[in-house]
Amino acid sequence: MIEAAGLTKHYGSTVAVDDLSFTVEAGRVTGFLGPNGAGKSTTMRMILGLDTPNAGRALIDGKRYAELKSPLRTVGALLDAKWVHPNRSARSHLRWLAKSNHLPVQRVDEVLEMVGLTAVANRNAGGFSLGMAQRLGIAGALLGDPSVLLFDEPVNGLDPEGIVWIRQFMHRLAADGRTVLVSSHLLSEMAQTAQELIVIGKGRLIAQTSTDQFIKDATEDNVRVRSPHADKLRELLAGTSTVTADAVDGALVVHGMDPASIGELAAANGIVLHELSPQHGSLEEAFMQLTKESVEYHGA
Amino acid sequence: MTLLAVERIKLFSTRSPWWCVGTALAITIGMAALIAANTDDRFPLSVPVSQGFTNFGMVVLMVMAALAVTTEYRFGTIRATFLAVPGRVQALVAKTVVVALVSGVVGEVIAFGSWGVGKLIKPGADMAIDSAAEWRNVAGTGLVFVFAAVLAVAVGVLVRQTAAAVAILLVYTLLVENLIGIIPTIGPKIQRWLIGRMSDHFLTAGNQSFLAEGGADDHPFGPWGSLAYYAAVCVGLLVVALVVAKRRDA
């Protein structure tokens, strides 16, 4: 289990992570979702003791990372697949990692087998494709048979086959009862990988909920209504639903009421309607909607 | 012990340390052979003459020591290291010990290799190591190399970039140490306190040779005092580097 409480990190005057609190439970894959620059990697680095938070703390099974004895036996992390020396063989890379946490050398061959790199174990990691490097990173994370796993954008740049492999791999790890935290900036990817979601934007927590619930909430259907008596209709609707105005043409966008009820309400009050159309939101649209204000870098 | 084994695996599972060690041996023992072959009655070969170029090997090993750290920052393996060993000070001390030991052993091989090659080429020369000063001159080389590697690791940890670390080490060792004496009045006063002067004095004190530069013979300490000063500065800088690495985000 991972617990973050009030995690805060400044870089100069920039606030990368702002009073972030969440828990990651064992036995399921938890997605860590947010736009690029939202603070996902910084948060993971603070959980792993690489960066020191300005405030708050992160605990793994009740302990700070630095307090763990032989940390690789408790926590496996893949933050960047490129964190290998290009002129060192895959086996040597895993060999020093294993040695550092008193893991038997046979374990190196076991994890290489697990990720399918046995045939290239003695080749220098610098010659690996991104997919192979990603597998080597996962082998390193699994070395100590840890109960907690963190992966930062593990499918970035992978081909579809690699993506499916990683996804299934994570499901297997969670099914074993491990705690799995996976970050991504793609909701569609997370929808297929994670059962639980922690959504952040600009370093702040936006939502922690089950993926199903998040998708249901996020893609809730809206109804577009145009009427010459928009103001009156708006007053009538205000009691039972949320009404916003479309930024482009000023039409009302009604959440939480189906088209039939809106039509009946209008008729009962003698309001003329020019449009009454149900809208179906997409997953990515909803995510963008939710994180719009918290996107760090906008296109011009 | 475990951490020493980890750093040993890391150091010797890439090729660059082997190249550095090979280069250091080839340059120094090659130079010693060249010098020995060209000595004559006017410039006689002796123990101190055979040791005249060991410093070149030291510079190469300092590059190796700095690379052992800066490549870890360059390729991110330092973060993998700190994940595996959250005690950063222990991890970096282990690395320093391994690199310094390698440097020290190679230093001894260079010193006795340079001496041996001279003896081989000029069997008639007086190459007996039969005074304390001569033993210090030959066997002391390893000690000087040990702390040179410590200094290089410290600089590597502090600046984290290969080009910067190597430039600082080379410019300081090869240029600053020698050129600072040019500054009128104050130059020689500063120079006598510089670590290169100290380590040179430790090796060469009491050993007469035609290679020795004339001039500044005023040393603040005796040979062993000079070594202690030199070692203290190198270890001191390492302590600063360790404190910085512990506080800094990896």
Q: What is the pLDDT of residue A229?
A: 87
Tell if the CB–CB gap between A72 and B76 is shorter than 8 Å.
no
Under DSSP, the state recorded for B175 is I
Contact in structure between B106 and B145 (CB atoms under 8 Å): yes
ipTM: 0.87
Same domain, A93 and A35: yes
Tell if the CB–CB gap between B83 and A99 is shorter than 8 Å.
no
DSSP conformation letters of chain A: -EEEEEEEEEETTEEEEEEEEEEE-TTSEEEEE--TTSSHHHHHHHHTTSS--SEEEEEETTB-GGG-SSGGGTEEEES-TT-S-TTSBHHHHHHHHHHHTT--THHHHHHHHHHT-GGGTTSBGGG--HHHHHHHHHHHHHTT--SEEEEESTTTT--HHHHHHHHHHHHHHHHTT-EEEEEES-HHHHHHH-SEEEEEETTEEEEEEEHHHHHHHHT--EEEEE-TTHHHHHHHHHTTSEEEE-TTT--EEEESS-HHHHHHHHHHTT---SEEEEE---HHHHHHHHHGGG-S----
Percent of chain B with pLDDT over 70: 97
Residues of chain A in contact with residue B86, where contact means CB-CB under 8 angstroms, are 49, 65-66, 68, 71
Given the structure tokens 């280069």, which residue do they identify? Answer: B23
Nearest CA in chain B to A78: B80
Domain-embedded: residue A294:
no
| Cβ-Cβ contacts under 8 Å for B225 (sequence gap 6 or more) | none
Same domain, A176 and A275: no
Q: What distance, in Å, lies between the first and last C-alpha atoms of chain B?
A: 24
Under DSSP, the state recorded for B249 is -
Q: What is the CATH number of the domain that holds A93?
A: 3.40.50.300
Same domain, A226 and A106: no
Same domain, A210 and A174: yes
Domain count of chain A? 2
Same domain, A143 and A237: no
**pLDDT tens, A285-297?**
767 766 766 665 6
Burial of A118 (C-beta count, 10 Å sphere; 0-12/13-18/19+)? middle
Q: Side chain identity at B243, as an amino acid letter?
A: V
Rounded to whole angstroms, the Cα distance separating A157 from A163 reads: 9
A14–B contact, CB cutoff 8 A = no
Same domain, A86 and A165: yes
Given the structure tokens 């072959």, which residue do they identify? Answer: B37
Same domain, A143 and A244: no
Same domain, A13 and A142: yes
Q: How many residues does chain A have?
A: 300
Contact in structure between A199 and A33 (CB atoms under 8 Å): yes
**pLDDT tens, B39-49?**
988 889 999 99
The more confident residue out of B125 and B158 is B158
Tell if the CB–CB gap between A71 and B3 is shorter than 8 Å.
no
Sorting pLDDT into bands at 50, 70 and 90, what band is B212?
low
Inter-chain CB pairs, A–B, below 8 Å? 79
For residue A96, give the nearest of B9, B76, B82 by CB distance. Answer: B9
**pLDDT tens, B25-71?**
999 999 999 999 999 888 899 999 999 899 999 999 999 999 999 99
Rounded to whole angstroms, the Cα distance separating B140 from B103 reads: 13
CB-CB neighbours of B183 under 10 Å: 12
> Which residue, of A217, A233, A253, is where some domain finishes?
A217
Phi, psi of B60 (to 5 degrees): -65, -40
Same domain, A207 and A230: no
Contact in structure between A152 and A183 (CB atoms under 8 Å): yes
Phi, psi of A123 (to 5 degrees): -85, 150
Same domain, A60 and A77: yes
A57–B contact, CB cutoff 8 A = no
B84–A contact, CB cutoff 8 A = yes
Residues 1-60 of B with CB under 8 A from A: 2-3, 5-6, 9-10, 13-16
Residues 231-270 of A with CB under 8 A from B: none
Q: Nearest CA to A25 among A147, A207, A206, A183?
A: A147
Q: What is the pLDDT of residue A293?
A: 64
CA distance A90 to chain B (A): 10
Same domain, A70 and A206: yes
Tell if the CB–CB gap between A92 and B9 is shorter than 8 Å.
yes
Q: Which residues of chain A are under the pLDDT cut of 50?
A: none
Nearest CA in chain A to B4: A100
Rounded to whole angstroms, the Cα distance separating A300 from A265 reads: 43
Parallel/antiparallel/unpaired status of strands A252-255 and A222-226? antiparallel
CB-CB neighbours of A141 under 10 Å: 24
Q: Which domain holds residue A56?
A: 2-217
**pLDDT tens, A92-150?**
999 999 999 999 999 999 999 999 999 999 999 999 998 899 999 999 999 999 999 99
Domain-embedded: residue A103:
yes
Same domain, A141 and A197: yes
